[in-house]
Structure 1
Amino acid sequence: MTNPTELLRSRYGEIPFNPEIEWNDSLTALLSHRSIRSYLSDPLPPGTLELLIAAAQSASTSSNLQTWSVVAVEDQQRKEELSKLAGNQAHIKQVPLFLVWLADLARLSYVADSRGISHDALEYLEMFVMATIDATLAAQNAAVAAESLGLGTVYIGGIRNRPQEVAEILNLPSSVYAVFGLCVGYPNPEVEAAIKPRLPQSAILHRETYKFAEQEEAIAHYNDIIKEFYTEQKMNVPGDFFPNPLFFDFSFSSEIS
């Protein structure tokens, strides 16, 4: 799907506006994103991983501190172990490449120690947040790059379900934690994945100051759109998407769509 109007209709369940800006391939790639949860076992071409990491390292990073790392997992047994820890999500086992994105303050700590410099600032909450953001920006660049190569992706938030066990499997040092995982592989053509509608822009776009005024109407409208989407996809239709009880129950295995 490359038609701008149809892409916008898929993303919002309707045509929210008529874009007057000249369209391009980057916009098509971004608006075409969908989560893939069924993969072929086909290996990725040589150099693919390194290219994805180059894209990741091209993302913005606060003060050029680059407070992130990533573990590329291709070993089947290790993928199976991580799958169990992340809520038994089958696609982690299916996919040829599973990337675990890390907020990494250990490298800065090592550099400071090796130079006899104090690194008390690494204990600040701001550094924890900064490392998490750095990892997230890098991962999103990699995901977009992967999709541009015809690969499918899905983020795995459930990797945070059992952080200590994940750290042991990946041999993570102190001051490093797994933010999320990312499946990368060729989508199974027999399992169709649709573009999931998002909230209306009136719910998330605030001009100048934050406004609650249109939230109730926007959420009600979104509930109608997402129910129709689930019905069309022959999926179980939940109650109102908002409030969704999953968001208040942290026992569930999170997965980012």
Structure 2
Amino acid sequence: MTQTAPSPAHPVQQRYADPATEIPAQWNPVLEVLHAHKSVRRYLSDPVSPETIRLLVSSYVGFVDAALAAQNAVVAAESLGLGTVYIGALRNDPEAVAAELNLPDHVFAVFGLVVGHPDPAEGTKVKPRLPQTAVLHHETYDLSAQREPVAEYEQRIGEIYTDQGLPFSWTERTLARLASAASLNGRHRLRESLAARGFQLR
């Protein structure tokens, strides 16, 4: 049985919010799922079946890095029609998270991952990402080649932020998160938190 995927034109252009984005020469159902990823923020109360959970957990086998394992779980979940969203805020107060989860020493929650049935009333959209020309370098790092595509992205994502009632500038939003210790929402204590969990960093 062969499996085919629709044309890549729509999902690729949707992901980067740019109709001029180059279309990949090769395409498959896995790439279709990756480009269609949405950070789902509202879920239905329908439980995820134990069979599905076991399938998702199997995505972790063989991976020792939490981020790689989680990303594979996301691909597996979304291929089954489920929604996902990472919760980086767990790093804002690692001690409280550890207490809530009853984690033993030397265990640290890197992030959370919500998996569930997306609420269709939410109307979640694909969030455009930076184009490859802004993040991909060949042989050596080239800042000058990034400036124009980043400026173009700033305009595209700003229009989407405006539709969502958010401040226009992606650049300003990014810099604001790093402006001070207070803007890090507790993450300035990560070294201290890791030490408290038993990670003696040098």
Q: Please give the range of the TM-score, normalised by the shorter of the 2 chains.
A: 0.7 to 0.9
Q: Report how far residue 19 of structure 1 moved.
A: 1.9
Q: Matched residue of 1:242: which SS?
A: helix
Report the AA paired with residue 172 of structure 2.
P
How far is the alpha carbon of 1:50 from its aligned partner?
1.4
For residue 166 of structure 1, report the CA deviation from its aligned partner. 0.9
Any idea what the Cα deviations from partners look like across 1:199-229, whole Å, max 9, x if unmatched?
1211100011111112222221111110122
The whole-number CA distance in structure 2 between the counterparts of 1:143 and 1:247 is: 27
Partner of residue 166, structure 1: 97
Give the drift of 1:186.
0.3
CA offset at residue 2 of structure 1? 4.3
Change in 2 beyond 3 A, CA 1:171/1:252: closer
Residue 252 of structure 1 deviates from its aligned partner by: 8.0
Q: Shift of residue 35 of structure 1? A: 0.4
TM-score by length of 2: 0.81
1:250 is matched with which residue?
184
Instruction: After the TM superposition, list the runs of 4 or more consecutive aligned residues in structure 1 that deviate by more than 4 angstroms.
Output: none
1:206 is aligned to 2:137: yes
**Which has the higher relative contact order, 1 or 2, with Cα contacts under 8 A spaced 6 or more apart?**
1
In the alignment, residue 112 of structure 2 is paired with which amino acid? Answer: G
CA RMSD of aligned residues (A): 1.9
| Counterpart residue type for residue 242 of structure 1 | T
Structure with more strand by fraction: 1
Q: Quote the Cα distance in structure 1 between the aligned partners of 2:166 and 2:113.
A: 26
CA distance in 1, matches of 2:22, 2:143: 21
1:82 match = none
The partner residue of 1:175 within 106, 119, 122 is 106
- Normalised by the length of structure 1, the TM-score is 0.65
Q: Which residue is 1:240 aligned to? A: 169
- Percentage of pairs with the same residue: 46
Would you say 1:140 and 2:145 are equivalent positions?
Answer: no
Residue number in structure 2 paired with 1:193: 124
Q: Tell me the secondary structure at the aligned position of residue 90 of structure 2.
A: helix
Give the 3-state SS of the residue equivalent to 2:112 in structure 1: strand
Q: Which residue of structure 2 aligns with residue 44 of structure 1?
A: 48
Q: How far apart, in 1, do the equivalents of 2:6 and 2:119 lie?
A: 20
- The alignment covers a number of residue pairs equal to 177
**Which residue of 1, 13, 16 corresponds with 1:12?**
16
